Amino acid sequence: MSPTPRPDPGPLAPGADPFHEPRRDDCPWCGSRQLRTRVRAPEGKRRTPGTFVFDECRDCSHAFQNPRPTPDGLLLRHHQHPTQAHIRSNLAGRLRRRHHRVAARAMLPYPEPESWLDVGTGHGYFPEAAREVHPYTSFDGLDPTPRVERALAAGRIEEAHEGLLTDPAIVARLRARYDVVSMFHHLEHTADPREELRAARAALRPGGHLLVEVPDPARPFGTLPVGGRWPWKQSERPRPLHLMPLRNLLAELESLGYEVLTTRACAPLPPRAHRIIARRATQPSAPSAPSVPSGPSGP
């Protein structure tokens, strides 16, 4: 299969940036305008031109890349992101494979899944490892790059879906098909984590489970630079768009119609992460009504 075409922005107006949206002055999670810059560092030669800036909300502690990449900017990053084609060839790859098996075993206390969708699957190494734990489960993969087709050709998954989980056509095709949907260090790289969680719920059967791993913003070593310097080569730098405090993410899951079952810390490699297992509830939870201050007491 021919590779996904590299984005070409064409002729631009002077000063226009084809790879970044305009900088925003409010928090994408809670809407607060109380922001502070947490990180400012050069993007590096293999990234989109410019400066990597991460802002943090003083009210809800949500951190996010500001300005956010455009769809073309995100696609360019997928082209430049190094693949895991040699996951077994080094210690880090072997540790990651072991972590995949541990993550798959986290679902053993629940009913055996017939069908499992791994979102952001890349070359399909998680489904390959998880099949050792769940040999009777059918594993499918979804990824925005042609790597998912190579995972299918290698026999690591049974169905390949190339694109975004939030694409309406993909949502319609995958609706209520899966007992488990997994996202390993995927949610923080999406443009809108809320929409991603909503689309994952649509892909789950009633009573199905969501398995998510996200970095811990309180311990971002390996995710954000320390002292203006990255702890690895620029070409290998992760590109998080969001870092969500655990309390924010759990509250959002419940509001979207999930029942949170377990949370635990896990860290196969930097950064430290949270693993969350949630069940699709029958109906989304009703949003809590805002509290209204009581007026002065009468005589």
Q: d(Cα 224, Cα 231) in Å, to the nearest integer? A: 9
The values of phi and psi at residue 224, to 5°, are: -120, 155
191: confidence class by pLDDT, cuts 50, 70, 90: confident
Sign of the dihedral defined by the CA atoms of residues 30, 31, 34, 38, in that order: positive
Nearest residue to 61 via CA among 25, 24, 34, 22: 34
Q: Is the pLDDT of residue 221 over 80?
A: no
Beta carbons of 213 and 119 less than 8 angstroms apart: no
Q: Which CATH architecture has domain 91-280?
A: 3-Layer(aba) Sandwich (3.40)
12: confidence class by pLDDT, cuts 50, 70, 90: very low
pLDDT computed for residue 11 by the predictor: 47
Q: Is the pLDDT of residue 255 over 50?
A: yes
Per the structure block, which two tokens stand in for 289? 């009504």
Computed over every residue of the chain, the mean pLDDT equals 80
Q: d(Cα 214, Cα 33) in Å, to the nearest integer? A: 25
In sequence order, what are the residues at sequence separation of 6 or more whose Cβ sits closer than 8 angstroms to the Cβ of residue 233?
Answer: none
Domain boundaries, the chain: 91-280
Q: Is the pLDDT of residue 72 over 60?
A: yes
168: confidence class by pLDDT, cuts 50, 70, 90: very high
Share of the chain above pLDDT 90, in %: 55
For the question of whether the overall pTM of this predicted structure is more than 0.85, the answer is: no
pLDDT computed for residue 132 by the predictor: 96
Beta carbons of 264 and 275 less than 8 angstroms apart: yes
